[in-house]
Chain A
Amino acid sequence: MFRLVAQRLLALVPLLFIVSVLAFSFTSLLPSDPVDLILGDTGTQEQHEMLRERMGLNEPLVVRYFQWLGKAVQGDLGTSFFNSVSVTDAVLLRLPVTLSLTAISALIAIVVGIAAGVAAALHPRSWIDRLATVGATFGQAVPNFWFGLILVAVFAVNLRWFPATGFTPISVSPWDWLRSVTLPSLALGLSSSAAIARQVRSAMVGVLQQDYIRAARAQGLSSRRVILRHALTNAMVPVVAVLSFQITVLLGGALIVEQVFAINGLGTLAIAAVRQQDIPMLQGLVLVMVGLVVLVQLATDLLYGLLNPKARPT
């Protein structure tokens, strides 16, 4: 297991490196001059020059990149141009919000997706099979933020079961936290659950025809055990292979769904950073998000190895 982790981690280093180059060089293409952004029209020519020198903007791009990377590796993502807060602090403050949405919606997507997929595979052409198919078709067409609006209209405005807006940190009140993330997570997670259900279904239909399933039945193992242990473990292999992609999609969706529920997460931060041309903030956000995606990828890789012994290094 250790070798597997090490191997995967090593494979991710070049990816992170390239992303950091991209994040740095692309955001350095921003049309506005950071010095102008900070000082505005005020300040003398000399003051502008001094600030330029102090921010290291006169150095070549490559030097600036390595300076930035050196600090980033130590957890210092620089200082916002807009309000001189530390980017690391700003991102860390919002991270739990977006993570909550992504994690709960992923949980919904996976649990509902597997349950519906297995049920659909066991009962082809039943109502649950049709629902999974129709759900997946609609799930690809319904914008998650619109679905969020509808959920607000029904469950927050009319039924008042959930708050329409805002986010309560889990440290303040776990119950209120759950209530505040339920609707946005449903808005995000349900369409992914239909996609996962379709994948589970087709994998499961294939696995159920395998010899080892018949052999397990021939050995007198209960249907429940054969389906949930012998078949599902194998059916999950192709599903897990695309799970990290699904979670990346959820993370991106969370940025937008946050806006529906007026939740102050990474999405809000990113939108503000675009409007304010806040280069360090955007760089930091990209890096943190890729970091999250990489962690998810690592986790699904490990899960893949766990489910599929053939994929383990020998």
Chain B
Amino acid sequence: MTTTSQNEPNTGPRRINFRPSASTAIVAAAGSVLVLLVFLAIFADWIAPYDPLRQNLIKAMQGPSAAHWLGTDDLGRDVLSRLIFGCRIAVLAAAEATSIAVLLGVPLGLFIGYRGGWWDWVVMRVVEAVVSIPGIMVAIVIIAILGAGLHRAMIALGILFSTSFLRLARGVVLAEREEVYVRSARVIGASDRRILLRHIFPNIAPPLVVQVTLTVGAVLLAEAGLSFIGLGVQPPDASWGTMLNSAAAYMDLNWFLAVPPGIAIILTVLSVNLLGDVIRDSIGRGVAVGVDPGKPAERFVPAIAATGAESPAPPPLADEVLRVEGLQVLVSGRDGHEVPVITDLSFGISRGETLGLVGESGSGKTITGLSILGLIGAGGRTTHGSIVLNGRDLRRLTPKQLEEVRGNEVAMVFQDPTTSLNPAFTVGSQIAEVLRTKQGLSGKQAWSRVVELIDRVGIPRPEERARAYPHELSGGMAQRIAIARALSCNPSLLIADEPTTALDVTVQQEILDLFRDLQGEFGMAILFVTHDLAVAADISDRISVMYAGEMVEMAEVDALFARPRHPYTRGLLSAMPHASSRNPPLPTIRGNVPRPGSWPSGCRFSNRCDFATAACERPIPLVGTDRLVRCIRAPELELKAAS
């Protein structure tokens, strides 16, 4: 079982997606907390059981009791009453500081954004300077100027947080100012003020709402912090921060004093933030981070319809390096259902041979290459068949053994060389890393081998290029580096996945020549995946045509081009442009490759095939000896290439 386990994603029961119901529950809970908060703030005088300021030193420092539900503080004041009056301060503080921030920041931001020039430059430099000072220190300095106390502290916080509103408003103006509708409003002579109010302001509203929720949470925390250090609300007034201040002095006597105000702050801020998240999501500016939870994957039960026909194994080749037999690969789709993407796939490659794997996108070519390496990814797994490389079935290896095989016995060159090299490291170090970890070379040995390899793949000044980063190289050069890395451990099989597709046409030919050249020297087998028949014809000894997850035809290059036997191959060949005959428009194959999961149950090409009959509705095996074809009508049709 170890063979398949590495390809299996989460085969255990996955958790069900709670998201929609969870978010309504969050809105309800957070909303009720805030409603309660405002309610308590307004009606504190009636609700609070005691006067929050009335001291009773005899009853100081009591734990919760029937008379005092949350106990009493160091001066014998009722904690619950103080907590309730603290709600009032919290609501006032949040409203005051947030309004100041908005009223100060938004107009100024609109103004400098719209005006631009010196105004913009000076104000933005000042904002940058203020933002580089820790926020609490800015507040402390402003309080030094204004004096301590709730309202002054809130003005300080309002000024502090106005910077984020200023930047937000300015950003929106800068983005909108050049929009066509604003420019056309200006052309028809709308006044600046009208443009600001009618055209720009509506665009600020959504991000503004989000920023307000963020600010309210931050203000509540900052108010508590300032009151805690004695610069906000002044004793004996009850705010959550001052309550924590007095609690801090008696942590060893009665630590419970710190609990109620702390919980009150956390619940309030949490509710504001969670509501803010929901608002942000509903406004649509928030993009979910990470992986979509998705539904539980249902295990696909292979049925005849999906596996298609079981074809007889093709005859073994001389000097065979790789032999794939009866391979089936499943991938879990977006809805969580597993669908087959490759079925009944068998082929072999011998030493020094190049097998071209041709097909349209979605035919399963790339997955074939990746499944040989055991790298289909978390969403896919191989379920049937064998992948025998140098006499060992890779599907039966442990992940560790497979890791050993990769690089040493089989390597892969990918389509886009600029993304398949790590941008953070020099190209030389990426090759050297392989040599050191796979072959145990010392740093020095590895480096001289790197320079040799880079030289060998035809890059001038190899020593200098080895120290270059991927983004400093052209696509063609990066692909040569990727090839050098793939060949660094002298693998017996090289999988090349569309290695020339991303390159300029002139460079394509050079890379193809390089492959041929290197094959002559290293003698590896090449599995060359491409959608381009011309490229395949150029580089391959044999070509295997794939359609909708299965092989439909395989033959020597010349035989295939001269006499295609499958209607799909014929369609592909006739769709190839020829330099000689430009006049007739290129014929195309009608329809599209069906997506995995929606394949016809019989011959998968039957719905696009001009020759389909009732007999094509049951699974067709791949048959033949020196050339293989998956078409029951092949013997009678005797197709000819379109040229």
Smallest Cβ-Cβ distance to B486: which chain A residue: A219
With A141-B266, A149-B248, A221-B407 as given contacts, are A286 and B141 in contact (CB-CB < 8 Å)? yes
Quick one: given A30-B144, A143-B221, A274-B143, are A164 and B252 in contact (CB under 8 Å)? yes
Q: Does A260 contact B (CB under 8 A)?
A: yes
Known A-B contacts A211-B416, A259-B248; A289 and B133 likewise in contact (beta carbons under 8 Å) = yes
Interface residues of B in 272-329 (CB under 8 A from A): 273-274, 289-291, 293
B interface footprint on A71-100 (CB within 8 Å = 1, 0 otherwise)? 000000000000000000000000000000
Q: Which residues of A contact B422 (CB under 8 A)?
A: 212, 216, 230, 233-234
Decide if A285 touches B221 in the complex (CB within 8 Å).
no
Check A218 against B375 for contact (C-beta < 8 Å): yes
Interchain CB contact under 8 A, A18 and B126: yes
Cross-interface CB contact of A219 among B148, B255, B406, B471, cutoff 8 Å:
B406
Q: Select which of B228, B289, B403, B405 is within 8 A of A202 by beta carbon.
A: B289
Option from A137, A218, A219, A270 in Cβ contact (under 8 Å) with B140: A270
Give A227-263 as 1s and 0s: 1 = Cβ < 8 Å from B's Cβ atoms. 0001001100100000000001101110110011000
CB proximity of B28 to chain A, nearest CB, Å: 17
Stretch among B198-206, B390-398, B432-440 lining the A interface:
B432-440
Q: Is the CB of A271 within 8 A of B244?
A: no
Provide the bound-state CA to CA distance between A273 and B424, in Å: 47
Closest chain B residue to A266, Cβ basis = B137
Q: Which of B126, B128, B273 contacts A141 (CB 8 A)?
A: B273
By a CB distance below 8 angstroms, the chain B residues around A289 are 133-134, 137
Q: Given A125-B293, A309-B471, are A218 and B411 neighbors across the interface (CB < 8 Å)?
A: yes
Considering only CB atoms, which chain A residue lies closest to B137 in the complex? Answer: A289
- The smallest C-beta distance from B486 to any residue of chain A, in angstroms, reads 7
* A47 sits at the interface (CB 8 A): no
Contact partners of B414 in chain A: CB under 8 A? 211, 214-215, 218
A281–B516 CA distance with the chains assembled, in angstroms: 75
B405: A residues at CB distance < 8 A? 220
CB of A138 closer than 8 Å to a CB of B: yes
In contact, B375 and A220 (Cβ under 8 angstroms): no
Report the Cα distance A43→B140, complex, angstroms: 31
Please tell me if the beta carbons of A220 and B408 are within 8 angstroms of each other in the complex.
yes
Interface: B588 (CB within 8 A) = no
Taken together as a complex, chains A and B put the C-alpha atoms of A157 and B423 apart, in Å, by: 51
B412 within 8 A of A: yes
A153 touching B251, Cβ below 8 Å: yes
A216 to B423, CA, bound (A): 12
A27 and B141 contact, Cβ closer than 8 Å, known pairs A137-B274, A153-B258, A221-B407: yes
Complex formed: what's the CA distance from A214 to B482 in Å? 13
The reply to whether B247 and A219 contact each other, CB–CB distance below 8 Å, is: no
Closest to B272 in A: A141
Residue of B134, B252, B489 contacting most chain A CB atoms (<10 Å): B134
Given A150-B262, A212-B423, A252-B135: A219 and B407 within 8 A (CB)? yes
Contact status A252-B145, CB under 8 Å: no
B217 at the A interface (CB under 8 A)? yes
A19→B225 contact, CB < 8 A: no
Assembly CA distance A149 to B255 (angstroms): 8
Q: Does chain B have a CB within 8 A of A277? A: yes
Contact in complex: A222, B144 (CB < 8 Å): no
Residue A31 interfacial (CB < 8 Å): yes
Q: Within 8 Å of chain A (Cβ to Cβ): is B448? A: no
Q: Which of B207-255 contact A (CB under 8 A)?
A: 217, 221, 224-225, 228-231, 244, 247-248, 251-252, 255
Contacting pair A157 B251 (CB below 8 A) = yes
- Bound Cα distance A271, B502 (Å): 62
B424 near A233: Cβ-Cβ < 8 Å: yes
Check: B90 CB closer than 8 A to any chain A CB.
no
Q: Within residues 116 to 140 of chain B, which ones have a CB less than 8 A from any CB in chain A?
A: 125-126, 128-130, 132-137, 140
Q: How many Cβ-Cβ contacts under 8 Å join chain A to chain B?
A: 233
Nearest CB on A from B61, distance (A): 15
Contacts of A267 in B (CB 8 A): 229
Distance in angstroms between the alpha carbons of A274 and B226 in the assembled complex? 12
**B contact residues around A8 at 8 Å (CB):** none
CA distance A74 to B251 in the complex (A): 44
For window 1-43 of A, CB contacts with B under 8 Å fall at 14-15, 18-19, 22-23, 26-27, 29-31
With known contacts A211-B420, A219-B486, A277-B144, A255–B137 Cβ distance under 8 A: yes
Q: Is the CB of B141 within 8 A of A26?
A: yes
The smallest C-beta distance from B499 to any residue of chain A, in angstroms, reads 12
Contact partner of B217 (CB less than 8 A), chosen from A141, A274, A294, A307, is A141
Contacts of B406 in A (CB 8 A): 217-220
State which size class the interface on B falls in.
35 or more
Q: Which one of A218, A221, A252, A270 has the greatest number of beta carbons of chain B within 10 Å?
A: A218
Asked if B50 CB lies within 8 Å of chain A CBs, one says: no
CA distance A297 to B377 in the complex (A): 38
Report the minimal beta-carbon distance from A134 to chain B, rounded to whole angstroms: 11
Contact with B along A97-133 (1 / 0, CB 8 A): 0000000000000000000000001001100000000
Q: Is A57 an interface residue (CB 8 A)?
A: no
Interface contact A252-B262, CB-CB below 8 Å? no
In contact, A149 and B231 (Cβ under 8 angstroms)? no
B373 at the interface (CB under 8 A from A): yes
Q: Is B269 an interface residue (CB 8 A)?
A: yes
Q: Among A138, A225, A273, A286, which residue has its beta carbon within 8 angstroms of that of B437?
A: A225
Q: Report yes or no: A125 in contact with B15, Cβ–Cβ below 8 A.
A: yes
Separation of A81 and B128 alpha carbons in the complex (Å):
30
Which residues of chain B are near A18, meaning CB under 8 Å? Answer: 125-126, 128-129
Determine which of A124, A140, A202, A212 lies in contact with B269 in the assembled complex, contact meaning CB atoms within 8 Å: A140
Asked whether, in the complex, the Cβ of A15 is within 8 Å of the Cβ of B273, the reply is no
* Chain B residues in 8 Å Cβ range of A145: 224-225, 228, 244, 248
Partner of A222 from the list B129, B147, B403 (CB cut-off 8 Å) is B403
Contact partner of B251 (CB less than 8 A), chosen from A149, A211, A223, A259, is A149
Residues of B within 8 A of A248 (CB): 132, 134
A149 vs B248: C-alpha distance in the bound complex, in angstroms?
7
Contacts A141-B266, A256-B229 given; does A274 touch B423 at CB 8 Å: no
Residue in A150, A198, A234, A293 whose CB lies within 8 Å of B133 = A293
Which residue, A125, A149, A164, A294, has most C-beta atoms of chain B within 10 A?
A149
Which residues of the other chain, A, contact B251 by a CB distance below 8 angstroms?
Answer: 149, 152-153, 156-157, 164
Q: Is A190 an interface residue, CB under 8 A from the partner?
A: no
| B100 interface residue per 8 A CB criterion | no
Report how far A164 CA is from B414 CA in the complex, Å: 59
Separation in Å of the B106 CB from the closest CB of chain A? 22
* Distance of A309 Cα from B422 Cα, bound (Å): 11
A209 to chain B minimum Cβ distance, whole angstroms, is 9
In the complex, the answer to whether A140 meets B412 with C-beta atoms within 8 Å is no
* B residues near A219, Cβ cutoff 8 Å: 406-407, 411, 434, 438, 485-486
Residues in B lying within 8 Å of A, measured CB to CB? 14-15, 125-126, 128-130, 132-137, 140-145, 147-148, 217, 221, 224-225, 228-231, 244, 247-248, 251-252, 255, 258, 261-262, 265-266, 269-270, 273-274, 289-291, 293, 370, 373, 375, 377, 399, 403-408, 411-412, 414, 416, 419-425, 433-434, 437-438, 469, 471, 482, 485-486, 489
15 new A-B pairs (CB below 8 Å) besides A249-B135, A256-B225, A260-B248?
A15-B128, A18-B128, A31-B145, A141-B270, A145-B225, A149-B244, A149-B258, A215-B482, A220-B434, A221-B437, A267-B229, A274-B143, A277-B144, A289-B134, A310-B423
Task: List the 10 shortest-distance A-B pairs measured between CB atoms, nearest first.
Answer: A220-B407, A252-B134, A220-B406, A153-B255, A141-B269, A141-B270, A211-B419, A252-B136, A215-B420, A146-B262
What would be 19 A-B contacts, judged by CB atoms less than 8 Å apart? Answer: A15-B128, A30-B144, A125-B291, A141-B265, A143-B228, A143-B265, A164-B251, A164-B252, A201-B289, A212-B420, A214-B420, A217-B373, A218-B373, A219-B438, A223-B403, A252-B137, A274-B144, A282-B140, A293-B134
